Structure 1
Amino acid sequence: MTGQRKYDSGSQKRKAKERRDMVIQSFAGSMDRYVKGKPNQSEHENVNVIVNVNTSLDENDNAHDLNENEHVDVLNENIDDLNDNIEDLNYLNENEHVNVLNENIDDLNDNIEDLNENVDDLNDKAYDLCDPGNWEINISQKERDLIVEMGPVRVANFIYPVENNRSFNDKYYTRSLANGENYDRPWLVHSQLKNKVFCFCCVLFKNGLSSPLTSANQGYNDWRNISGRLVEHEKSSSHMLSMKAWKETELRLRKL
């Protein structure tokens, strides 16, 4: 940055004018000693000299004023340029902020889409796991917990397929005792996919030897002998242990 130009104060200008007048007067007196000619001619020439000196001094003042005006004009131009630069910078900053905001919105929308896809996948997975026919032999702990949280699923008013003139019936969901009492069999589930029944807890919590009722890749569909087979199974010790493990898992998941 260039240094600021210093200007004379009013008192300094008055002193300069007094010195200028003294120079003019002394100069006029000295001219009388060196210039020869008629008196009126000498006076005329002295006047011309004084006029020329005054003119030169006035021109210096005018030049000084012009320099001041030029300095002001240049300063104003610099201020205008600075303001333009500030406006351009503000415009760029605003646009950059808008661009960053738009990018963040796009990223957020992408994350929402991914989340929705994950939710859809989870819902599809949960729907698939409602049917024991979709369970794996070596089911993971995460899937086991999810199935336990959903609980056994029974489809109301489902028309069971007929095989060899026989089919599964909702009455098998209930155990009838000799004294006339009836007990629900919450562990018994039917697979629409395979048209077979499974023991919910024994498939999830394997205890003892594998059987069609307790194996995810098998299932039971001997509808002629199903009543006796269900009674035999629910009295077994392995079934009791699986029931215990099921209820303990339910309790653990409720505390989470």
Structure 2
Amino acid sequence: MNIFLLKTQPLSKEIKVLSSAIYYLCSLKLNFISTNRGEIDDKNDENLISRDPPDNKKFTDDESRYLTTQGPFQPKMSVYPQNLELKNKKHQCSFAAGWYGQYNYLKYSKIKDAAFCFCCRLFGQDPGDAREEETWTTKGIGSWSKMKGRGIQRTGKLATHFKSAAHKAAEERLQIFSNKKSNVDLMINADR
């Protein structure tokens, strides 16, 4: 028994030293990941990730983090392009920046002259949930008539979308994603 203990003791000491070194290296790496995760250099990635809706496809977690920290693309222009067909019919013929204040997740594309929904664009595709409306995520709304109302006591396109089950589900996913405490990699670090 003495021989076994005499041979095992130095080995166990070596294992202890190696495991401490591994633990230390893992701690350093996890700390590096948690402090740098999702931090994107605005100067470099502004050109890589366009905030104008039609340019965006499927996003990585880091791209989604960048976009959620930036918020919806809401350019305020002195004059928005007019839809002449609607103007001739005496309808609302252009986008109105005032809609941003009423609908926080509304975003506007200068490229397409169309409106999109920020949270549905980022988080509207979840299996088994209410499906996002393609118009608000990929095509965009460019017909500005009936945006605020569709007649007496009938809600317009904006209110209808922003009260829809699909939008509410996407908005909830956005809130969960934005809450850093619920990110798995940060939860792992908190347990240490």
The bucket for the TM-score relative to the shorter chain is 0.5 to 0.7
Q: Of 162, 168, 187, which residue of structure 1 is paired with 2:95? A: 168
Deviation of 1:200 after TM superposition, in Å, equals 0.4
**CA distance in 2: counterparts of 1:212 and 1:245, whole angstroms:** 18
What does the per-residue CA deviation read over 1:203-224, in whole Å, with 9 as the maximum and x for residues that have no partner? 11115334244323x1111101
Q: Of 217, 227, 239, which residue of structure 1 is paired with 2:167? A: 239
- Off by >3 Å, runs of 4+ in structure 1: 118-121, 253-256
- The correspondence of residues 1-256 of structure 1 with structure 2, limited to 5 A, is 120-126=43-49, 128=50, 130-136=51-57, 138-164=58-84, 165=87, 166-174=93-101, 184-207=102-125, 208-216=130-138, 218-227=139-148, 228-252=156-180
Assess if the C-alpha contact under 8 Å between 2:161 and 2:167 holds in 1. Answer: yes
C-alpha RMSD of the superposition: 2.5
Deviation of 1:248 after TM superposition, in Å, equals 1.5
Q: Percent identity?
A: 23
Deviation of 1:167 after TM superposition, in Å, equals 0.7
What is the identity, as a one-letter code, of the residue corresponding to 1:211? E
| Structure ranking higher on relative contact order (CA contacts 8 Å, 6+ apart) | 2
What is the identity, as a one-letter code, of the residue corresponding to 1:125? L
TM-score, with normalisation over the residues of structure 1? 0.44
TM-score, with normalisation over the residues of structure 2? 0.57
Assess if the C-alpha contact under 8 Å between 1:160 and 1:167 holds in 2. Answer: yes
**CA distance in 2: counterparts of 1:241 and 1:189, whole angstroms:** 18
- Equivalenced residue count is 126
Higher helix share: 1
Distance 1:212 1:220, change over 3 A: farther
Deviation of 1:154 after TM superposition, in Å, equals 1.7
Which one has the largest radius of gyration?
1
Deviation of 1:249 after TM superposition, in Å, equals 1.4
Listed as ranges, the gaps of 5+ residues in structure 1 are 1-117, 175-183
What does the per-residue CA deviation read over 1:214-251, in whole Å, with 9 as the maximum and x for residues that have no partner? 323x1111101222111111111111111111112111
Deviation of 1:119 after TM superposition, in Å, equals 7.2
Assess if the C-alpha contact under 8 Å between 2:74 and 2:106 holds in 1. Answer: no
Deviation of 1:153 after TM superposition, in Å, equals 2.8
Listed as ranges, the gaps of 5+ residues in structure 2 are 1-40, 88-92, 149-155, 187-192
Assess if the C-alpha contact under 8 Å between 1:189 and 1:199 holds in 2. Answer: yes
**CA distance in 2: counterparts of 1:251 and 1:170, whole angstroms:** 28
Assess if the C-alpha contact under 8 Å between 1:205 and 1:245 holds in 2. Answer: yes
What does the per-residue CA deviation read over 1:138-181, in whole Å, with 9 as the maximum and x for residues that have no partner? 3332222211111113223442111122111112224xxxxxxx
Deviation of 1:121 after TM superposition, in Å, equals 3.8
**CA distance in 2: counterparts of 1:253 and 1:157, whole angstroms:** 37
**CA distance in 2: counterparts of 1:119 and 1:195, whole angstroms:** 25
What is the identity, as a one-letter code, of the residue corresponding to 1:171? G
**CA distance in 1: counterparts of 2:182 and 2:71, whole angstroms:** 13
Counterpart of 1:125 in 2: which secondary structure? coil
Assess if the C-alpha contact under 8 Å between 1:131 and 1:193 holds in 2. Answer: yes
Deviation of 1:202 after TM superposition, in Å, equals 0.6
**CA distance in 2: counterparts of 1:199 and 1:132, whole angstroms:** 9
